[in-house]
Structures are given as C-alpha cells and as structure tokens.
Amino acid sequence: MQKLLVKKELQEILRSGQFRIAGLIVLLLTVIAIFISAGYYRSVQQQHAQAQSNERNVWESQDDKNPHSAAHYGTYAFKPKYPLSLVDQGVDKFVGISIFLEAHSRNEAQYMAAADQTGLARFGELTPDFILLFIMPLLVILIGHNAFTREKERGTLNLIKSQGLSLHKLAMGKWLGVFIPVAALTLAIFLLAGILLSSLGDFGELSWTSLLMMLLIYLAYYAIFACVSLIISALSKSSGISLVSLLAFWIIGCLAVPKAATNIAELKYPYPAKQAFDEAVAYDKSQGLDGHDPWSKAAKKLEEETLKAYNVSNLQELPFNYDGYRMQKGEEHEAEIYFKHYKELKSIHEQQTGVYRGLTLLSPYLPVRFLSMSLAHTDYSTHWHFSDAAENYRIGLQQALNENFADNSEYGNWAYKADKALWSDIPAFSYAPPELSDVLAHNGQNFAVISGWLILAFAGLFLSTKRL
C-alpha cells in the first residue's frame, strides 16, 4: 500500500505543470550556472598558472646581487583554484589571490575579484551554490506545501487512512513522493558537475569522494526541507496558509538567520582596524631586534651573546658574516611578532565561527553552507591555511638568503654578490590544501547539527501526522 501511495504522489507531482516548469527552469539555470562558472574558473586558473610561471621567471632572472637585496626584491605566492570551487565559490571572490613575500614584512593577500566588479554584482550572481542553497529549497516547498492539505481539501485523506495504512507509513510515503524528484534532480546536477570537472585538466585532480560527500550534504538539506514542508502541510488548514508559512520559514532560515549571525558575530567579536593592527605590530617590532640597526639595545645584546658563544673578542673573528647573522635573527624576531598578532586575528575568527555554530540550531542553511565551502576549499579556514603556508615559505626564503650572505662573505662586506644560480636553487612556492580527513574533523559540529536537524525533522513529521 505504501508503494502505491508513493507512486500516486510521484504521478501527481510529475503531472503537475508547476513542478515540470519549475524543475525545468531550475535544471536549465543550474546547467547555465555550471558552464558559466566553468568558463570563469578555467580563465582564472589559466591566469593563475601564467602569473605563477612569469613570477618564477622574474625571480630566477635576477642578476648577481647581495642576497639581502634579493630578499627585499621579493616574490609572490599565488593561491590555486580547486575543482569543487566551481560548485561552491564560497569566499574566494572576497579574499585576495596572491601574497607578496618580502623581507621584514608579512603582507595580506591582494587582488580580490570582488574589487573589480561593478555595483550590479550586489544584485547577486547566478552560481551553482546559489541555486543549490536557495532555489532548490523553494522547489521542495513548491511540491510539498500541499501534500496533506490537498488531501484535506479533496476529502480523500479519510479514504487513504481507511485502506489500513499506518500514520508512519503515510508520512514516509508522502515524504518519498516529495523527496525523490528533488533527489533525482540534485543527482543529475552533481553528475553533470562531476563529468565537467573531470574533463578540465587545468583544475587538477578531482576528488570524487569530496563531491559525493557534498552531494550527501545537500540531499540531507533537502530532506529536512521536505520534512518541514510536510509538517506545515499537516498542521495547516489550507494550501495557501501552508505555502505562506513555508515561505516564511525559508526567508528566516536562508536569509534572516545567516544575516543576523554575521551581524552578531561582528558586533560581539570585531576585528581590529587595519591602522590599529599595523601600529601594534610596529610597536612590538620596535621593542626587539631590527636587523638593519646594529646600534640598538637588542642588537648590542645579540652581539655580546654571539661573541661569548663563539669565544672571540670581535666580530671579524666569527666564522661567518655577522651582518647576515644579525639580519636572520631580526627576521626571526619579526616573524614571531607577526605570528603573535595573526594568531590573535585567527582567534577572533574562531570566536566568530563559534557564534555561527551556535546559531546553526536556528537554521539548517548555516551548517550546510559551512560544510559545502570547506569541501570546496573556498572557506575562510582554507584561506588562513594558505596564508600561513605562504608565511612559512617566506620565513624559509629569508633564512636561505641570509644564511648565504652570512656563510659566503666577510663581516662588513655589503658588496658581496651571490651567484644568480642561488635564485633557482631555492624551490618555488607550492601549496596543498587541507586533506579531506582534516576537513571532516574540523566540521564535526556541523555534521552533528545536520544530523540533529534530520532527526528532529523526521520526529516532527511523525508527530504531526498523529494530528490528522
């Protein structure tokens, strides 16, 4: 009997002109969004590869020069794109794509794509994640808002119940009738995305496991909306009331709660102003060793400690160039200062994330949004990971240059020039994003919240059917 009910529901939904038109529009928009995103990201990836190659050529093409001059000359670290960023672009357009690596300074990522957009971008963009997060739940509401009210209005509910079908089976039959068409459409979208992504060689290796995980997360998202749609339909007296109530749930869950979460997080844990941050860094740097100032208190202390450690009476007797050694110690001091202050920024980020996670209980949108971005490597955590990787490379680069200066020249010989072969001997910057296991571990709470939403949604569905 339950199979007959599911078949009946599917037939009614598929016969409905509303679903056919809405489903076709959603599928068409998604296909267009995927191909537009693929073209955009293919262009971005080509630009990234070209910029990375050009910058490496510029670095290796330097003439013989003092290594510390090369340290100030600097180079760039470029943030790569990843396949699933086509499905969910996350915050990629709002964070920089390259970091300038130079001596004595940790720089922010630059050249965010959003800075090049016009004011029309405020009206939104047609992207796969927009359709998956906002439009698909509306499709679920469209086909599920009258699942029970339709039977009440037709007077067929008692007829169905008279067939001996239990309320739990009735609820699951209705739920399957709503969920199966949406699940089939979602599966087709992800299959198309997977085929397209796997054919784009410039995107690197596609993780089918991550794509499957993302598919399951979105299916859970739509399962929750299907349950809520049926709950409201079971409790409502008419289809109109049910539809208005569900649209209110969508507005609150997908629009109001995320915006409120952002405002609350920023108010409760604000980031320091750029000027105040820079002043705090400059102050802490001034309290320690400056590699360019041999007369400061910190420099004199280092000089005394070095002479004592090597048991010599003057700097000329040291087995290395003390200028390069002092430069490296200054870099180490400044790197510690930057790690300290950026750790404070990351702490604020974690506190804001905690606010978001606390509000995930009010909307299934938030945990799904965070999980989707994490799997696509387009979240803030991945950006922090890239920024730290670039900083570690910068520190290693400065160390290699300063040590070459210290080991191959005499004290006071600032005319020393390293052979240009040194530039190519230093390996190029490469970045690997967090592994899938790390992503899943970092998002344990989001998985728990989604699971909780699913359990409560199905419990609410079974309870609401008892009132029929």
Query: Would the pLDDT of 171 be above 90?
Result: no
Please state, in angstroms and rounded to a whole number, the distance separating the CA atoms of residues 369 and 348. 20
Please state, in angstroms and rounded to a whole number, the distance separating the CA atoms of residues 171 and 152. 15
Degrees (nearest 5) of the Cα angle 187, 191, 197? 145
Give the count of beta carbons closer than 10 Å to the beta carbon of residue 266. Answer: 13
Give the count of beta carbons closer than 10 Å to the beta carbon of residue 447. Answer: 15
Query: Would the pLDDT of 363 be above 80?
Result: yes
Would you state the pLDDT for residue 428?
92
Find the mean pLDDT for residues 294-320.
88
Please state, in angstroms and rounded to a whole number, the distance separating the CA atoms of residues 372 and 91. 12
* Of 45-49, 109-113, 326-330, 450-454, the least confident: 109-113
The 10s digit of each residue's pLDDT in 393-423 is 999 999 999 999 999 888 888 888 988 899 9
Token couple for 217: 């997360």
Question: What is the reported pTM?
Answer: 0.88
Q: Where are the domains of the chain?
A: 2-465
Beta strand pairing call for 75-78 and 105-106: unpaired
Output the average pLDDT for the chain. 86
Contact 348, 267 (CB under 8 A): no
Query: Would the pLDDT of 122 be above 60?
Result: no
Please state, in angstroms and rounded to a whole number, the distance separating the CA atoms of residues 62 and 423. 8
Would you state the pLDDT for residue 123?
52
Give the count of beta carbons closer than 10 Å to the beta carbon of residue 352. Answer: 20
Find the mean pLDDT for residues 160-171.
70
Query: Would the pLDDT of 119 be above 60?
Result: no
Please state, in angstroms and rounded to a whole number, the distance separating the CA atoms of residues 321 and 316. 8
Q: Give the C-alpha distances (Å, rounded to integers) separating 25 from 140, 196, 224.
A: 14, 20, 23
Would you state the pLDDT for residue 164?
63
Would you state the pLDDT for residue 263?
92
Q: Which residue spans within 336-387 are E strands per DSSP?
A: none
Highest mean pLDDT among 29-43, 255-269, 402-416: 255-269
Query: Would the pLDDT of 120 be above 60?
Result: no
Contact 81, 48 (CB under 8 A): yes
Please state, in angstroms and rounded to a whole number, the distance separating the CA atoms of residues 449 and 256. 19
Amino acid residing at 425: D
More confident residue, 228 or 2: 228
* Of 206-215, 227-236, 452-461, the least confident: 206-215
Structure confidence at residue 205 as a pLDDT band (50, 70, 90): low
Question: What percent of the chain clears pLDDT 70, i.e. is strictly above it?
Answer: 90
- Bridge partners (DSSP) of residue 98 are 78, 110
Would you state the pLDDT for residue 414?
85
Query: Would the pLDDT of 53 be above 70?
Result: yes
Which is nearest to 309 in space by CA: 322, 298, 297, 296?
A: 322
Structure confidence at residue 186 as a pLDDT band (50, 70, 90): very high
SS (H, E, C) 93-155: HHCCCEEEEECCEECCCECCHHHHCCHHHHHCCCCHHHHHHHHHHHHHHHHHCCCCHHHHHHC
The 10s digit of each residue's pLDDT in 89-117 is 888 888 888 999 999 999 988 877 655 55
